[in-house]
Amino acid sequence: MLAKKIHLPLYIIASLLFGLKTYIVYRFVFNISLDNVVQELILFINPFVSAFLVFALCVLFKEKRQAKFIRYIALIGSIVIYFNLVFYRNFTDFITIPVLFQGSNAADLGSSVLDLISITDILLFADVAIIWYLSVKFKSKLTVSYNKRNKAFAITMAITLLVVNYALAEAERPQLLQRTFDREYLVKNIGLFNYHIYDIVLHSKTEVQRVFADGNDVPDIKNYIDENIKSDVQSDLFGVAKGKNVIFISLESLQSFVINNTVNGKEVTPFLNDLIGDSYYFENFYHQTAQGKTSDSEFLIENSLYPLPRGAVFFTHGQNEYNATPELLKEEGYYSSVFHANNKSFWNRDVMYQSLGYDNFFDVESYEVTEDNSIGWGLKDKPFFEQSIKYLQTIPQPFYSKFITLTNHYPFELAEEDATIDQYDSNSRTLNQYFQTARYTDEAVEQFFEQLKQSGIYEDSIIVLMGDHYGISEFHNKAMSMYLDKDEISPYDHIQLQRVPFFIHIPGQEGKTISDIAGQIDVKPTLLHLLGIEDKGDITFGTDLFSDNQKDFIALRNGDFVSDNYIYSDGICYDRGSGEVLEESLDSVPEDELEDSVCEPIKEQVRTELSYSDQIIYGDLLRFYDFGQ
């Protein structure tokens, strides 16, 4: 009746009803976190936009078929929402194509499906019933004429809505689609249906590359590794930590420039500075991450393979075959787990951790998170460690446990009562606050060490600490140059700022500061070496940092590098020691003039190495390789 009076075509009524239903489900059934008004707004808009995009397609059909099209779309759309809902009730996550076809998930769902559905779910189909009723009752009165004007209106409107939705989402979360960090973010920003389309495209692309790959490339890669990376010489430290627990602490956004440094005359990281004295500390250790940030650093340390140049490998290749540290340690009787108070689907961790062989993931559900004990990205580091200890005391030993901190994350917010040093004073609020959150994490780690000692775990463990990636981007170069007392941040300085702290603390062993170049790619071989685990022909691009025979460059993910003698950044070749420019604009030099270049040969090798690693991931090549030969 109403529809007839206000002359709304059926596809618009359907978009409104279906959009409203979807919004109610997003807002009140899925547990989607909303941090600000813009997110609320996007979440409200996108159900209507997505619904309109699909229902508006009906203008492409003659009048008779329109009603049928709308009915079936409403039904299929509701079934998709409902499937996601049932899946969500069990996994607190949205369906992805690979996960849907993963046997264990389906089996999990199958056994509990009756618990997951309820009679009131029928209400989810109320809009379908209304649309069905209207389309039958009013038939052609609610359809639009099959003409150019109607088509033009529907298409223009659809594109406008899509652009507005995408622009808002992009402003809220830059590079949303390229980085794909979290399914929840995707659904929140572009809607469930667009998310499914995106997932299908991503999955098909990955699958095509995988299907066309075969094992023929593996021997070349293996040769390269044997000739350029592996060394037969073992250092004296082989096996010094045999059978010990490994506690790996990933320090969010912690860069080396704060270590042994001060702000307003106060030490930024007093605990870590002291820890240098009784740890192996690597002062020229570089992060090698790209868009996948923390997850890229995890990927590097578990596999000694490079992350991808675009996107997060945790997301795009979460179900590849790997030969990761947790899997290797399992063979030695270790129990492995990750502690991180964020939702488990962030960076697709829940899926990737299974591929890496982790036994358990203590995600946000394992922690008591309240308004008082959280800030910024969630649970503060101090309660995070405090609450973790009880789990650590109950898991089987020896264990390999990775802790991922969160408080020192952009935008570096901190409650006043948690700040123990003053902010820096520059034009960058980000940098100003960074020192305070870095200090907070330093104190949290100090407390954690105390707790480890009290609980008796400390003595039987080695503790590895590593900064995951940079926290202060180039955008803050002006403030950074002021802090570092430089005229400007040159491309050389930029590379030096990619250093992150790396400590290996072995209780009872004297410390040593090591200035050889090192990177996240080296963590896996180094750790396995300390634990006394022989390399049986693993495919890794890093070397054991304690052996003399190390590879002489560290490749950054964008092709820049640091070698023993040079730093290559932004097309410029620098002397590593003095920072003097040796060769300018290498990228634009004609090939025949490159012969004498000192950086060019290393640049080529960096390229080769990165592309070998990419080939392994894109082709899922490790499935053809027999480890343990």
Chain residues that interact with ligand GP9, rule: CB under 6 A: 293-294, 342, 346, 404, 409
Any residues with CB less than 8 A from the CB of 507 and at least 6 apart, and which? 458, 459, 461, 462
Which tokens belong to 139? 């038939």
Whether the Cβ atoms of residue 463 and residue 247 lie closer than 8 Å to each other:
yes
Q: In the complex, which residues of this chain contact Mn ion (CB under 5 A)?
A: 252, 293-294, 468
Name which of ligand GP9, Mn ion, none residue 380 binds, using a CB cut-off of 5 to 8 Å depending on partner kind.
none
Cα of 49 vs its chain's centroid, Å = 28
- Give backbone dihedrals phi and psi of 532, rounded to 5 degrees, phi first: 75, 30
Name which of ligand GP9, Mn ion, none residue 56 binds, using a CB cut-off of 5 to 8 Å depending on partner kind.
none
Q: If phi over 0 gives left and psi between -120 and 50 gives alpha, with beta otherwise, what is residue 506?
A: beta
Alpha-carbon dihedral 615, 620, 626, 629, rounded to 10 degrees: 40
Q: CB-wise, 21 or 293, nearer to ligand GP9?
A: 293
Q: CB-wise, 254 or 602, nearer to Mn ion?
A: 254
> Bridge partners of 552?
none
Q: CB-wise, 276 or 404, nearer to ligand GP9?
A: 404
Q: Least Å distance between CB 465 and ligand GP9?
A: 16
Name which of Mn ion, ligand GP9, none residue 404 binds, using a CB cut-off of 5 to 8 Å depending on partner kind.
ligand GP9
Q: CB-wise, 364 or 419, nearer to ligand GP9?
A: 364
Among residues 377, 433, 419, which one has the least CA distance to residue 258?
Answer: 433
Name which of ligand GP9, Mn ion, none residue 348 binds, using a CB cut-off of 5 to 8 Å depending on partner kind.
none
Name which of ligand GP9, Mn ion, none residue 346 binds, using a CB cut-off of 5 to 8 Å depending on partner kind.
ligand GP9
Whether the Cβ atoms of residue 238 and residue 529 lie closer than 8 Å to each other:
yes
Whether the Cβ atoms of residue 426 and residue 242 lie closer than 8 Å to each other:
no
Q: Least Å distance between CB 255 and ligand GP9?
A: 13
Any residues with CB less than 8 A from the CB of 208 and at least 6 apart, and which? none
Q: CB-wise, 127 or 252, nearer to Mn ion?
A: 252
Q: Least Å distance between CB 451 and ligand GP9?
A: 22
Catalytic residue among 180, 206, 294, 407: 294
Q: CB-wise, 53 or 258, nearer to ligand GP9?
A: 258
Q: Is 468 in a helix, a strand, or coil?
A: coil
- Rounded Cα distance, 542 and 299, in Å: 13
- Alpha carbons within 13 angstroms on the beta-carbon side of residue 471 total 31
Q: Least Å distance between CB 342 and ligand GP9?
A: 4
Alpha-carbon dihedral 185, 189, 191, 194, rounded to 10 degrees: -90
| Amino acid code (one letter) for 403 | F
* CA dihedral over 539, 543, 548, 553, signed as positive or negative: positive
Q: CB-wise, 238 or 367, nearer to ligand GP9?
A: 367
Residue nearest to ligand GP9 (CB): 293
Name which of ligand GP9, Mn ion, none residue 544 binds, using a CB cut-off of 5 to 8 Å depending on partner kind.
none
- Rounded Cα distance, 531 and 241, in Å: 5
| Residue 294 known to be catalytic | yes
- Nearest-5° Cα angle at 363, 362 to 365: 105
Q: CB-wise, 293 or 551, nearer to ligand GP9?
A: 293
- Give backbone dihedrals phi and psi of 512, rounded to 5 degrees, phi first: -155, 135
Q: Is 94 in a helix, a strand, or coil?
A: coil
- Alpha carbons within 13 angstroms on the beta-carbon side of residue 380 total 23
Name which of ligand GP9, Mn ion, none residue 342 binds, using a CB cut-off of 5 to 8 Å depending on partner kind.
ligand GP9
Angle formed by the axes of helices 183-190 and 37-55, nearest 10°: 70
Q: What is the set of active-site residues? A: 294
